[in-house]
Chains A and B, each alone.
Chain A
Amino acid sequence: MPATSPDGAPPNPGDPLVGLHDDLLAWLPTQRWFPAKGREIAGLRTVAHTVVSTPGELPTVEHAVVGVSFTDGTGSAEERYQLVLGVAASPPGDVEYAVIGRRRTPDGGDEVVYDGLADGRISRLFLALITSDATRGTLHFVPEPGTEMPIVGPGRPLLGEQSNSSVIYGERAIMKLFRRATAGLNPDLELHRALGRQGSVEVAPLLGAVEGELDGEPMVVAMLQSYAANSADGWSMALTSVRDLLAEADLRPDEVGGDFAGEARRIGKTVGSVHRELAAALGSGPLDGDGAAEIEAWMLARLDHAAEATEGVREQRDAIAAVLRGVATAGPSTVQRIHGDLHLGQELRTPTGWLVIDFEGEPSKSLADRTRPDSPMRDVAAMLRSFDYAAFHQLSDWEQSADEADPQLERRAQEWADRNRSAFCDGYAEVTGTDPRDNPALLRAYELDKAVYEVLYETRNRPTWVSIPLRSMRRLLTDTGAARR
């Protein structure tokens, strides 16, 4: 790792984190939420900095946005990340694992800087500031009107998270710090707020937020929600069901104990309710010719991008394009705000029902693309794709060791996918009055668009899984009914 920056430019001496740059450059790539692993870092600068604690309060708490630039010139020139830092002469023993580095104090002393979310005192301070509707510099700590803070106390960091960092307050509330700093309205907060005000029971209620500024625009620092205790995610539950089925092989999905169709139907109802509530809160309109053309153009661009990179897509490019063009000629449809990145892992089973989580949208898209109204069929198609993934995930793992797939198991997996996709659509139709299968051209286009994206993604990231979307792609090109009844 370079000592300062590879271009030799010295850090800005006015930078409040000067003296910590080397430590941060070593620390950032070790964090799970840092996506640019493997890219060579050109330099680091402090974009924003706020002292959250009051003078004399221990430990000192700082909020910072750092910009990281890279040498490879691909992607954006600079990625920005949010940090919450704890600063103390000697931090408590249980945050030792979170230490970032040491820096000199103005009076010549030495202090330790660590990831602040690891310190229960700091997470408690955030909660207290939200409860009291406080302002610190450009940071506004905002309680959600009409909600009651369930608890005041220290939080505990949630381990094993991917793209953000969360702390849990006594199984009552969870605060998510958005690691990637993006100017503009954060759709996760925006949609949770809108759904909460619709009285939605399909999302974890919003309790508050920390909002700041970036480049003169609003930015969401963190979001506080009710914690869904005793929950499990839909992906792992679906895999449990598939595992149960594949262990039998001679039984159909409706005959084995682990049948998932009841849950799939409930998930369909849950997603349908969320769509209804989003339309009620933020409006909806018909999908007109211009809108359809825009969606089609976007899909075709993504197709061509994928065709360049993967042979499997390239071979079928024209056939796929023909299906995608179906968007323009499909039956009447609506557009509205949607989830945008739905899959079984974004659904939590709680003892009272299913919750939909994580409304940030597809991470690879720009903020403008993520907040643009789209057809709810995009979410539906994404869920149908997810059932396919769950059905074939275990088989694709097994195929690595076997010479060829067992056709019997493959048929069972397809039956599982069909049964649960169908149950999902039943549930969705029950709540919305719109059966996704009644608009097969549109649904098929969205499913195929998603499958193309998956082929590209798997080719780059998980080559052993690429057979799953490829299989679906082939099926979608030959089978005119996107989801069988």
Chain B
Amino acid sequence: MNEGVSAPGDELVADDTTHDTSTYDAPSAADFRHARTLPVEDGWYKRAVFYEVLVRAFADSNRDGFGDLPGLTDKLDYLAWLGVDCLWLPPFYDSPLRDGGYDIRDYRKVLGEFGTVEDFVEFVDQAHARGIRVITDLVMNHTSDQHFWFQESRRDPEGPYGDFYVWSDDDTRWPEARIIFVDTESSNWTYDSVRGQFYWHRFFSHQPDLNFDNPAVCEAMIDALRFWLDLGIDGFRLDAVPYLYERDGTNGENLPETHAFLRRVRKVVDDEYPGRVLLAEANQWPADVVEYFGDADAGGDECHMAFHFPLMPRIFMAVRRESRFPISEILAQTPAIPHNAQWGIFLRNHDELTLEMVTDDERDYMYAEYAKDPRMKANIGIRRRLAPLLDNDRNQLELFTALLLSLPGSPVLYYGDEIGMGDNIWLGDRDGVRSPMQWTPDRNAGFSTCDPGRLNLPVIMDPVYGYQAVNVEAQSNSTASLLHWNRRMIDIRKQHPAFALGSFHELGGSNSSVLAYVREHAGADGARDVVLCVNNMSRFPQPVELDLIAWKGEVPTELTGGVPFPAIGELPYLLTLPGHGFYWFAIHPAQER
């Protein structure tokens, strides 16, 4: 919902009806009921299948055209049936919604359209009742320009919030910091006519960066974290963590001060909320991202998880190139991570397919291949859903999902991709991939019973991806559907701890179109789990000879059907794969079968 670079002062006077600026009193967690909590379970996040769900787009319970928390609560049985372990909710906080809610106006209030804090507590409670955990987005780097803190900061430089943001008399400092939203922003500084100074913002100009050099800001942020943790959530996805601090002569990313603050946050979580998790969003190269796990000797003392950004575009590139090397390369460049840490991996999410972590050559190539219409490009990325990106090819959808569920890391699914939903590239910014969940072939796709004109975003209606063709109800009734297939694969993944916890060893092989790897895990009870994954990146059938001599005499059993394949002998193991085909095998000693 980006309206560009208009100065925040334009709407200040008329718009700020939310707070009485002189007497704002932040609510405390004690003011609310708390959700039941799930038992503390070490490393649950390393085994979990995550599911990103937009409250706004999932289900509307009160016919106002917006998805809401009670609507989401109603759909928990579906999510439990699908088999997901943890929901990730992008921001649902009070916000002017100029950046999809990543512009937070009040850290302790739920966006009116979504419901109330009480609705949120009920949602978490019901999720926990089904064994599903919940993590929420938290934007620490910046607030909305309508946040009480910012309004106070601009009005009264000497007041308690005067130093909450990064102010400067000119706009020349820190020229090394890149501009992230190059489509809309021309500078990281914007002039504020009320205070008569420039303020610093790494993202949109309506999102001023908080000043973490001010201890009061650190305290206020940690208190905001405590508020939600007290209510019962299982952790946070920390948005845009690399940018918390600014230092002269640096690009303002990944600074030591930022890591020090994250260690402080981690200590609060470990001391006061054991079992809760921190997931970092740091769109950086893996060698830089591992820093966000913190000290490896301590098992990691910053974030428990971090997204692996470069892997995702490489998966797309590998399949288009019919070569495993784009993936092999990035995995070979990925350093080891602390033993308590885990990558988060994904194919698509609410943002564009990010191409910041590919080279310029590769970016041109990705645009040419996947964004034939210029509207599909957004910032440095491509705003498409998985199914349209893959031309709705079921074989590729299955191959990509099989990779997501078997490469190292916890998979993060994006709502709607389990049924192969489409996108609407004619909607502004990234809304094209945030359209309402398609539940039924009925009015508004079963998302809402409101007047269709009232919908916050229109449902997808094209003949291929439209809700009458693609919806949960229809796919629930057919066991051959993509939805059922996804559910089965999630289930298989959960039966084999090696997928989640195992070591990763690429097997190579002379056929460069085939990506084959072994995941191996020894449980605490000594039980060994070995999984072999073989993926054909090519659209043509391929043979591959694999060196499986380490498992000589053992038997690979295909995991979707349980069919035992010939025992592994002295010679290279020959497999043939259909175009874009894949196999998952468990390797067992022969007598175990």
Contact = CB atoms under 8 A, between A and B. Distances in A.
Interface of A: 94, 156, 159, 229-233, 236-237, 240-241, 243-244, 247, 257-259, 262, 349, 351-352
Contacts of B322: 240-241, 244, 257-258
Interface stretch (B31-39, B480-488, B504-512): B504-512
B451 interface: no
A150 B538 CA distance: 35
A7 B400 CA distance: 67
Nearest to A244: B322
Contact of A230 (B319, B507, B513): B507
A241 B508 CA distance: 19
Given A236-B512, A247-B540, A351-B331, 10 more contacts: A156-B549, A231-B508, A232-B324, A236-B510, A244-B539, A244-B540, A257-B320, A259-B321, A351-B332, A352-B329
- Considering residues A94, A241, A244, which has the most beta carbons from chain B within 10 angstroms of its beta carbon? A244
B321 A257 contact: yes
A230 B507 CA distance: 6
Interface string B495-526: 00000000000111111110000000000000
A230 B508 CA distance: 4
Interface of B: 319-325, 328-329, 331-332, 361, 365, 369, 506-513, 538-540, 549, 570-572
Contacts of B324: 232
Contacts of B508: 229-232
A351 B513 CA distance: 13
Nearest to B514: A232
A243 B323 contact: no
B323 A237 contact: yes
B331 A232 contact: no
A258 B321 contact: yes
A352 B332 CA distance: 7
Contacts of B361: 262
A262 B360 CA distance: 12
B426 to A, nearest CB: 26
A239 to B, nearest CB: 10
Contacts of A349: 325, 512
B321 A351 contact: no
Contacts of B538: 240, 244
B285 to A, nearest CB: 15
B571 A230 contact: no
A352 B328 CA distance: 9
A244 B323 CA distance: 11
Contacts of B512: 232, 236-237, 240, 349
Contacts of B332: 351-352
Contacts of A237: 323, 512
Given A240-B512, A257-B322, A351 B572 contact: no
B506 A230 contact: yes
Nearest to B508: A230
B510 A232 contact: yes
A257 B325 contact: no
24 contacts: A159-B572, A230-B508, A231-B508, A232-B324, A232-B509, A232-B512, A233-B510, A236-B510, A236-B512, A237-B512, A240-B512, A240-B538, A244-B538, A244-B539, A244-B540, A257-B319, A257-B320, A257-B321, A258-B320, A258-B322, A259-B321, A351-B328, A351-B329, A351-B331
Contacts of A243: 540
A410 B310 CA distance: 38
* A-B residue pairs, 4 tightest by C-beta: A230-B508, A232-B512, A257-B320, A351-B332
Contacts of B320: 257-258
Given A258-B321, A258-B322, A262-B361, A236 B511 contact: yes
A94 B570 contact: yes
A376 B321 CA distance: 31
Nearest to A254: B368
A257 B509 CA distance: 22
Contacts of B329: 351-352
Contact of B513 (A156, A233, A240, A352): A240
Nearest to B359: A262
